[in-house]
Amino acid sequence: MKNTKGKVYLVGAGPGDIGLLTIKGMKCLQKAEVVIYDFHLNAQVLNYINHDAEFIYAGKRGGHHTMTQDEINKVLVKKAKAGKKVCRLKGGDPFVFGRGGEEAEALAKEGVEFEIVPGVSSAVAAPAYAGIPITHRLYSSSFAVIPGYEDTTKDESSIDWSRLATGVGTLIFLMAVKNMDVLIKKLIENGRSPETPVAVIRWGTRPDQKTITGTLGNIMEAVRQKEIKPPAVMVVGDVVKLRDTLNWYEKKPMFGQRILTTREHSGGFEELEEMGAEIIAFPTIEIAPPENYRDLDRAINRIGSYAWIIFTSANGVRYFMQRLIDRDKDIREMKGVKVCAIGTKTAAEIKKFGIKVDLIPEEFNAEGLIESFQRVKVSKGQSLKGMRLLLPRAEKAREIFPEKVRELGGEIDVPVAYRAIKPEMHGKRLKRFLKEGRISIATFTSAATFNNFREIIGEDADELLRDVAIAVIGPVTARAIEKAGLKVDIMPKKATIEAMVEEIKRWVRKKKS
C-alpha cells in the first residue's frame, strides 16, 4: 500500500550565490512534489526541482504580499495532509527572521511531520563576500543580528538599545535600508561612537553586489548618493576596517557579469563562474529521441556496409550508441568502419565507448568536413564516388555536406538520431532580469536556441536583447541573429564552447580596460 503520509521540509536556499545552497537542501528540492517559494531566491535554484512538482509562489516584493503568513501556513498543512512531500523554500535561513519558526509551529499544531534544513544566512554571507569577517580576534569577539525593519513608530522597542549599542562588537542589521537613519540615531544616542566603521552591502553574494563603507556619522549620505536600495545588510563595527585587505569577491575578473546560457546543459561555462560570473541557465532546446526509429534502425542493420560514420555532435553519438545497444548490438558491428567526429567534444564522447576516431576536421562545421574528406581522398588515392557514408544527426540539420557528397558521386544516409525540441517554459523572471539590465551577456549555440528564445520570451524578445552583449558559437548562429536586426558582439574562430568562453573573457577584459 502506498504511503500517503506527507511531510514538510523548511529549507533555507541561502543568500543568492547558488553554490551556497546546501547538499541536503538540494536533495529536498529534488524529491519535492510541492514547492512553496519566496521572491528573494536565485532563480537557478528552481532548476533542481522535479519539473512535475507543483510550484506555489508565496513571496513579496516591494512590500506587496502574494500570500499572507496565515495563508502560507494553511497551504503547507493542506498539501502535507494530502500526502505530498512539500518543500518550503526560503531565502537565507528559515530560522533567521524568516518566519520559519511560525511555520513549524503551525505544522506541529496540526500534527504534520516536518524537518528543518538550515541555510546560509545573508547575515554571515554578505559580509564575507564583501571581505568583512563578523568576528576577528583583534577587532570583535561577539556579534548580534538585528532586524532592521522594526516599526519605528512603536512606543516601545523589542530591542534593548542601551545594551546593544555598546555591548556587542559587531552589529549586523538585515533589511536595514528603509529605517537606516533611525537605526543609526538609536546607536549614537545609546553610546556608539559616530566614528564607528560601517558597511552597507546590497545584493550580497550576487553579481550585482554593491558595497559602500563609511562611519555611523556619514554613511547615510553615502547611501543617498549611491542610491542604495533594498535588499541590503548593514555591518557596524571595527571589523569593517578589514574590507580593504580582505575584499576578494568584487576583485574577481568576471565579477558583475551575469551570463545567460540557452543550451540544454550549461557545462563548459564553469570557468566563468569560478572567475566571478553568475550563469543563468535558460535552456531553449531540449534533446529528445526521434519520433520513429525506422531510418536509424535500417542504417544500424547494415552498419558494416558503410565506409565512414560521421558524428557531428555528442548528442548524435549518445543517441546512436544507445539505439545500437537497444537493438541488441554492440561496437563489434562497426568493425572496419572509419569514424569521423566534428569537434573535440564529439570525439571525446566517441572515445567513451572504446571507439577510435579516425578524423577530426580542422573547422568544426560542414564546410570543414567537406575540406577534410577531400584532403583524405587525395592523400589516400580514394574517391568519394561509390563510397557509402552514414551521418546520424539531428532532425533539422544543414544539407551542405550530404549534397556535396552526392555531387561527388558518393552515397550518404542521414537518419534522424535525435530531435532538438522547444521545452515548455515561461520566461517571466528572465524577462524581468532583462528589463532591469541584470543580464550582461546572452549566449546562443545554434540558430534553434535563438529562434526558440524569441518564441518563449515573446514579441519583445529582440528589444530586450538590444542592450545585452550577444555571444554566438559560429557564423550560422550569427546569421540568424543578424537577420532579426540584432548585433553579434562575441564570436570565436573555432565553434566550441571552450573557444566561446575564451572569447567572452577577452571581451570582458577589453570592456574593463
- The one catalytic residue in 17, 38, 93, 413 is 38
Burial class (CB in 10 A: 0-12, 13-18, 19+), 81: middle
The verdict on whether 26 is a catalytic residue reads no
d(CA 64, CA 39): 11
The verdict on whether 175 is a catalytic residue reads yes
d(CA 174, CA 162): 20
d(CA 55, CA 34): 6
Terminal-residue alpha carbon distance, the chain: 66
d(CA 62, CA 449): 34
Cell output for 183: 537605526
Q: Which residue has the cell 555598546?
A: 166
Q: Please report, to the nearest 10 degrees, the dihedral formed by the alpha carbons of residues 320, 326, 331, 334 taken in order.
A: -60
| Residue 212 β-bridge partners | 200
- The one catalytic residue in 175, 180, 321, 387 is 175
| Residue 468 β-bridge partners | none
State the greatest distance between any 2 C-alpha atoms of the chain, in Å, as a whole number. Answer: 96
Strands (E), 252-399: 258-261, 278-281, 286-288, 308-311, 338-341, 388-390, 393-394
Burial class (CB in 10 A: 0-12, 13-18, 19+), 34: buried
Q: Which of 279, 62, 58, 263 is nearest to 177 (CA)?
A: 62
d(CA 419, CA 490): 27
The verdict on whether 60 is a catalytic residue reads yes
d(CA 74, CA 79): 9
Strands (E), 380-444: 388-390, 393-394, 411-413, 416-421, 441-444
d(CA 32, CA 146): 32
* Rounded (10°) angle between helices 294-301 and 314-326: 70
- The one catalytic residue in 5, 31, 60, 229 is 60
The CA angle 429-431-433, to the nearest 5 degrees, is 70
In the Cβ-directed half-sphere of 44, how many Cα atoms lie within 13 Å? 21
Q: Which helix (H) or strand (E) holds 71?
A: helix 69-81
Which residues carry out catalysis?
38, 60, 175
